[in-house]
Amino acid sequence: MSETAAAILARRRVEGDVAALLPQGLRPQSFVQAFALQQQVAAMLPSAIAGWKCALPTVDANGEKQVVAPLYAAELCRFPTAICPIWPSVVPQSKGLARVEPELAFVFHTDLPAKGQGKPYHKADIDAAIGGVHLALELIQSRFLPDSGALYFDQLADGLFNQGLVLGPAVAAKDLDLNQFLLSISTDDALLLQKQAQHPNGDAKAALYWLVNFLSAQGIGLTAGQAVITGSYAGVLELPIGPKIQFEFGQLGAFSLQFVPRVC
């Protein structure tokens, strides 16, 4: 894909710019084009890839959708930090708020080098490479205006709504259920949300296994320290910027965080 398109998307990500679609001649028209453009953007950004977001592929009337996008070190808020910069939402119904998705992040402690086509990793190999599971929040923002008409390939090239990651504390106890928990979110003044949170696939690791082998087939390995998130347990949440917020993931753990407006 065009270096011009990659440069536009990279600049928007760094500057927090939300704008119209790319010119028609620069828009990706297939998964191959969109993924290639996404990787061109990654190469242009002044930040290492700190991990990936993913979900199991789905099929609808428009064909298969594969959810895969890099997460960047410069956009990582790591526990025990108490402050997380975020670009406020531009979506009309949530303008000025923080849009986030509660997730779990699998952090690798050993590398999984790319093996190429037809040489998949077994689940046991992937499990052995995981060093820990962490509470996490994906920070949500597209670089396309809500009414721009952006389609799946546009969003894939742009990073699938990701604007960063909060990597919270590790889940201390082993053998806990990672597929569901009681999610409670509150400030000092009010309970904002309490619900039984459920992983969308019913298996928090299913998309992780898919991602490792998808990337390996593309010649992309995973390295120690990288984190992978595999889907939101409660959809997109709209939370206030400013007050300290407490996040409780049932028996898995808890942490507190304050969102502040991000600046370039």
DSSP string for residues in 143-172: SB-TTS---HHHHHHHTTTEEEEEEEEE--
- State residue 64's pLDDT score: 82
* Cα angle: 96, vertex 100, 101; to 5 degrees: 160
Tokens of 234: 């409660």
- State residue 117's pLDDT score: 84
Nearest to 45 by CA among 71, 77, 26: 71
pLDDT band at residue 1 using 50, 70 and 90 as cut-offs: low
Question: Taking residues 152-167, what's their average pLDDT?
Answer: 98
Strand 83-86 and strand 254-261: the pairing is: parallel
Q: What is the pLDDT of residues 67-114, one digit of tens each?
A: 999 999 999 999 999 999 999 999 999 999 999 999 999 999 999 999
- State residue 172's pLDDT score: 82
Tokens of 123: 């689940």
Q: What percent of the chain has pLDDT above 70?
A: 100
- State residue 174's pLDDT score: 82
- State residue 59's pLDDT score: 81
3-7, 115-119, 152-156: least confident range: 115-119
- State residue 118's pLDDT score: 81
In this model, does residue 146 exceed pLDDT 70?
yes
Tell me the average pLDDT of the chain: 96
Say what the pTM is.
0.96
- State residue 187's pLDDT score: 98
- State residue 231's pLDDT score: 97
Rounded to whole angstroms, how far apart are CA atoms 156 and 67?
Answer: 8
> Which segments of the chain does DSSP mark as H helices, in order?
3-15, 31-44, 123-129, 152-158, 206-217
Say if residues 6 and 28 touch (Cβ distance below 8 Å).
Answer: no
Give strand ranges (E) for the chain.
Answer: 49-60, 63-72, 76-78, 83-86, 98-108, 130-140, 162-170, 180-186, 191-198, 227-229, 237-239, 244-249, 254-261
- State residue 200's pLDDT score: 95
Rounded to whole angstroms, how far apart are CA atoms 95 and 76?
Answer: 22
Question: Taking residues 116-131, what's their average pLDDT?
Answer: 94
Rounded to whole angstroms, how far apart are CA atoms 120 and 115?
Answer: 7
In this model, does residue 155 exceed pLDDT 80?
yes
In this model, does residue 198 exceed pLDDT 70?
yes
Q: What is the pLDDT of residues 174-191, one digit of tens each?
A: 889 999 999 999 999 999
CB count within 10 Å of CB 248 equals 18
Q: Which residues neighbour 136 within 8 Å (Cβ) at sequence distance 6 or greater?
A: 102, 103, 104, 105, 165, 166, 167, 168, 227, 229
Rounded to whole angstroms, how far apart are CA atoms 235 and 97?
Answer: 15
